[in-house]
Structure 1
Amino acid sequence: MTATHAPHSHHTSAKHAWAAGLMVFAAVMLTLVGILDIFRGIMAIAEDDVFLTTRNYVFEFDLTGWGWIHLALGVVAVIVSLGLFQAATWARVAGVAIAGLVVIANFLSLPYYPVWSVIMIALSGFIIWALCVAKKEDVGDPFDAR
């Protein structure tokens, strides 16, 4: 009888480990995306020379405006990532939302910093994937040493 339960127990702990690993991955990546967005926002607010100027762009904002948007998104992303380290449900929902907003903001500001915008879009996509693929009941505490 114990032989039939052992594989199920191993399977459950493997699912837990996988889901917890995805949660930690998403938390770390969202922290990094947030910090990098904060730095990008500060650079734009200071009107650093690393940004391109594009004429007649449909979504053209003042560079300082884009800076404040990226700064705010970065701060919220870092705060949400702290909740992800605790595997909080609100943080998973907010993490998907903030990563989605980071994708949109980087798409809209693509002409100002194209290569970095593509990198941030890709990282945010991985965050959304990691937060959506792990089931709530499998996550538990990501730092629980089972």
Structure 2
Amino acid sequence: MSQHPTPTDRLSRAPRPRPAPWQSGLAVFAGIMMVIAGAFGAVQGLVALFSNEVYITAPGYVLALDLTTWGWVHLILGLLVGFAGAAVLTGQTWGRVVGITIAILSMLANFVFIPYYPVWSLLIIVLDVFVIAALCTYTRGAQDA
């Protein structure tokens, strides 16, 4: 008696569709930008820790914190963004999820940091928006399996 393949068997053996080239390119772009932004964030944190006269504080800002606190926040977030970017470049799914989460946290931290360094903070917020968009549009393909 011969066994016929069931529809489920056929579906499990079907090759996964490959992502569009622009989606793969966006994932690589996001990974590289995350590594670069992570390095810059870590440097920003180190500057706030060791040379806080670089930053000027705005008087009467509601969410004002000590620059040493901001230094640690940016240093830790920068390292996490860099490691998540490396995971995205190696094709790890968890790297994309962590990357999106850390990019959101980076956006929030830089939003609150605007009074100290407005142009840089706004630049990082825009970069984080592009990274999140790139990580959300990427779908796993046959080459990632």
Name the % identity: 38
1-structure distance, mates of 2:78, 2:30: 15
> Match for residue 127 of structure 2?
123
| Aligned ranges 1:21-40 → 2 under 5 Å | 21-40=25-44
> Which amino acid counterpart does residue 98 of structure 2 have in structure 1?
A
> Match for residue 133 of structure 1?
137
| Aligned ranges 1:53-64 → 2 under 5 Å | 53-64=57-68
Q: CA contact under 8 A between 1:41 and 1:68: conserved in structure 2?
A: yes
Greater helix fraction, Structure 1 or Structure 2: 1
Instruction: Name the count of aligned residue pairs.
Output: 129
Q: CA contact under 8 A between 2:52 and 2:67: conserved in structure 1?
A: no
Root-mean-square deviation over aligned CA pairs: 1.7
> Match for residue 50 of structure 2?
46
The alpha carbon displacement at 1:86 in A equals 1.3
1:32-74 deviations in Å (ceiling 9; x for gaps)? 1100000000010013332111122111110010000000000
Q: Which has the larger radius of gyration?
A: 2
With normalisation by structure 1, the TM-score equals: 0.82
Secondary structure, counterpart of 1:33 in structure 2: helix
The list of structure 1 runs, each at least 4 consecutive aligned residues, that deviate by more than 3 angstroms after superposition, is: none
